[in-house]
Structure 1
Amino acid sequence: MRQLAAAHLLEDVSFGGVVKSLSIFDRPELATRIRNEMIEVNPAGVRAPRLDADIIITHFTPRWRTLPFLHALRLRNRKAFLVHVEHSYTRAFEELHVDSVRRFRAMLRGSYAAFDEVVAVSHGQADWLRVARLVPHEKLLVIPPWSDHGDLRAMPLACHSGNRPIVIGAYGRFDAIKGFDVLIDAVRRLDPTRFSLLLGGFGPEEDELKHRASLMPNMEFAGKVTNHRDFLGRCDIVAIPSRREAFGQVAMEAKLAGRPIIAAQVDGLPEQVGKAGITVDCSSAETLAAALAQLPKLPLDKMAEAARASVADAEITRLLAWQRLFGRAARYCRASQSVEARAAAPIRTSAGQIR
């Protein structure tokens, strides 16, 4: 099979979670079948390009202002197989941020109609897309994101002896949606000789979070996390108290590092937990504090083992899922070329004349 050409359209190609997830296409299992190119676009303000690509994969967030771009992209690239990866929208997003559900869903249905397939990044997200009837069942599939963290898989498993405070780690962008404010308030309710909080990251809420944690000797801000191995090596358990989370890359990284997780009961997070930790109602500091207070009674060492085991096959399952998608895209492209060839061929009448 000839190598396919894929164009990944992003609004921002600076290093981030979405760009990190594209590293899976550099794996030999996929690179031999598809040639990838990242293209930065402004889908709200420019005309959709005509691309020399067999597959076009969009990674930006659909909005009313991007609808003309998406449908022009379809019209100007009729022979390409179009895929959208939904990194942003979830049930919790709709509940928290949408005033008119009817209008919001109309925008999404109109956007997704431009694509041959829509990829959800978690089963929780896919369930919402399906129940809300935003994507036809036959066009919807689930492929969680993946970025290589081989150094995390080589780390020793978390092991808490009980002779020191349990270190609760959390990291990410300091934004209200991450729920770090609730986490700080929850840890403030705990015995500082038994629990400590290590927060990594930066963002618009940094000053507010530091003020909230002021005068607490058991809370430390580690700054931007550039070395995940070092940061996670200091954690006994990792908390993901997000108010919304389509997937939760932090949960995946923590499990690779052999760290138990405590995750909010929203969107794609619960399906990542299993025996690797616990899910908690993180909507209030009281409920989160009550769950954290039970950590010394939990089998954290067994949870650490389960965390590492739960992601043992994660990379290969993602690779296989993308291989299957590329297989469907290749068949689509061959069918399009066949139709074009037949349309261009001369038509012979029964008398042998060409017209």
Structure 2
Amino acid sequence: MRPQVIHLVDDSKLGGVKLALESQSESSLKQTFDFKICILNLHSWFPRRYSADIICLHAAASWRKLPGLCLLRLANIGTPLLYQEHHYSEYFVKHRVAKSWRFLLMLRLCYRLMTRVLSVSDAQANWMKRERLTSQDKLIVMGQAKDVTPFLMLSAKPIGRPVVLGAYGRFDSQKGFDLLLEAMTQLSPEKVELRLAGGGEELEELETKWANLPHVRFVGEVHDVPQFLSGCDAVVIPSRWEPFGLTCQESLTAGKTIITSGVDGLNEQLEEIESLGLNRTGDLIRLAELTPEKIVEAIDKLIDRAEALLGDNKESNASLGLSRQARQIVAARWPVLLEKWREVLSKHL
């Protein structure tokens, strides 16, 4: 009988987390472990004891949830409780936390309840160490990834006029789409088009505010992300914080030029390619500062590069983006992560 591993989430809207867990549950690991994803209510005073060999928790910690976390721990004494931190990072604290000492104390108390704390990036783990959020023997740098085979299968898109930018994800302040849309007001519709995909609490407000921009298209939720990316020359990821950033992994595997803030876990995804010398100048663009003005500068450089490649030949097959080898390196994060999970889960049986 396979050991049972239960993944607990308390927010079914967490698209990236849900996709990563579903990828894991359907991976080769299912031959060794029996995975189950359950919704958890941390505000309940009647915690459940789970029939599991290992519990993996993926809920965002908070002061309000701390009693629920304590009850969950008490109800499941004897069962390893692994906490994967998808939500918080150095730049989250910078942008969203007024009293950092109080917030960091809450994290220390929550992490103390766990058997292990799993970080999704090196940047996040380094932040945890600097802030002494948990002991080094409890912290495991897992990384993050998903099965990106469909993205790797995409062919390079020939450049056209205008250059097509893509951006996608949940519409909230984290993703920085408001800054990107402000930047688009300063760019010519003849030279660039932006396609924004996704949903969320800020979608209606942004659609209403920027409805008059002729070179911006809100395409709504997309269920076929590789198909969406196949029509884009480049992807913009202007996130204010991003503990890892699965959209970056997907876009890199699709071979797209990236314009990004480079915060938290985003930067190391670019560094992985750069360290091997697999990128050309202009493939990976970090914003010097996360402002509309700097986004405009980055997009202008991208347009200039596209024009230089395209020249006067509208039938050119030239394309922007990464080499096949670079894309394969990014895709290889997935099997590496699976082996890391196999190792960690096996040690806690």
* Interval containing the TM-score (normalised by the shorter chain): 0.7 to 0.9
Alignment of 1:44-83 (within 5 A): 44-83=43-82
Instruction: Find the aligned partners of 2:29 and 2:2 in 1 and give their Cα distance.
Output: 10
Q: Displacement, 1:173?
A: 1.5
What do the CA deviations read for 1:4-50 (whole angstroms, capped 9, x no partner)?
Answer: 21121111346732221112333453112211122222112333322
Residue of 332, 341, 347 corresponding to 1:313? 332
Instruction: Find the aligned partners of 1:216 and 1:78 in 2 and give their Cα distance.
Output: 56
What do the CA deviations read for 1:83-126 (whole angstroms, capped 9, x no partner)?
Answer: 00111111111111212111111110010011111111111211
Report whether the alignment pairs 1:303 with 2:302: no
Unaligned runs of 5+ in 2: 272-278, 307-318
Q: Displacement, 1:263?
A: 1.1
What do the CA deviations read for 1:212-267 (whole angstroms, capped 9, x no partner)?
Answer: 43332222121211221221111000001011111111111112222121111311
CA shift in 2, pair 1:140/1:45, >3 Å: same
What do the CA deviations read for 1:195-218 (whole angstroms, capped 9, x no partner)?
Answer: 111111222222332244333222
Alignment of 1:151-170 (within 5 A): 151-160=150-159, 163-170=160-167
Q: Which residue of 2 aligns with 1:344?
A: none
Secondary structure at the aligned position of 1:221 is classed as strand
Instruction: Find the aligned partners of 1:137 and 1:319 in 2 and give their Cα distance.
Output: 22
Q: How many residues matched?
A: 327
Q: Displacement, 1:298?
A: 4.5
Q: Which residue of 1 aligns with 2:248?
A: 251
CA shift in 2, pair 1:304/1:288, >3 Å: farther
CA shift in 2, pair 1:306/1:219, >3 Å: farther
Residue of 222, 229, 242 corresponding to 1:232? 229
Secondary structure at the aligned position of 1:71 is classed as helix
Q: Which residue of 2 aligns with 1:207?
A: 204
| Fraction of identical pairs, as percent | 34
CA shift in 2, pair 1:106/1:14, >3 Å: closer
Instruction: Find the aligned partners of 2:51 and 2:204 in 1 and give their Cα distance.
Output: 46
Q: Displacement, 1:169?
A: 0.6
My pick for the range that moved more, 73-82 or 88-97, is 73-82
Q: Which residue of 2 aligns with 1:101?
A: 100
My pick for the range that moved more, 137-146 or 98-107, is 137-146
**Contact 1:172 / 1:201 at 8 angstroms: preserved in 2?**
yes
Greater gyration radius: 1
Instruction: Find the aligned partners of 1:180 and 1:101 in 2 and give their Cα distance.
Output: 25
Instruction: Find the aligned partners of 2:182 and 2:107 in 1 and give their Cα distance.
Output: 36
TM superposition score normalised by structure 1: 0.85
**Contact 1:261 / 1:277 at 8 angstroms: preserved in 2?**
yes
TM superposition score normalised by structure 2: 0.87
Q: Which residue of 2 aligns with 1:328?
A: 347
**Contact 2:9 / 2:37 at 8 angstroms: preserved in 1?**
yes
Residue type of the alignment partner of 1:96: H
Instruction: Find the aligned partners of 2:209 and 2:324 in 1 and give their Cα distance.
Output: 34
Unaligned runs of 5+ in 1: 331-355
Secondary structure at the aligned position of 1:261 is classed as strand
Q: Which residue of 2 aligns with 1:283?
A: 290
Secondary structure at the aligned position of 2:236 is classed as strand
Residue type of the alignment partner of 2:296: A
Secondary structure at the aligned position of 1:151 is classed as helix
Q: Which residue of 1 aligns with 2:25?
A: 26
Secondary structure at the aligned position of 1:36 is classed as strand
Root-mean-square deviation (Å): 2.1
Residue of 267, 271, 290 corresponding to 2:268? 271
**Contact 2:4 / 2:54 at 8 angstroms: preserved in 1?**
yes
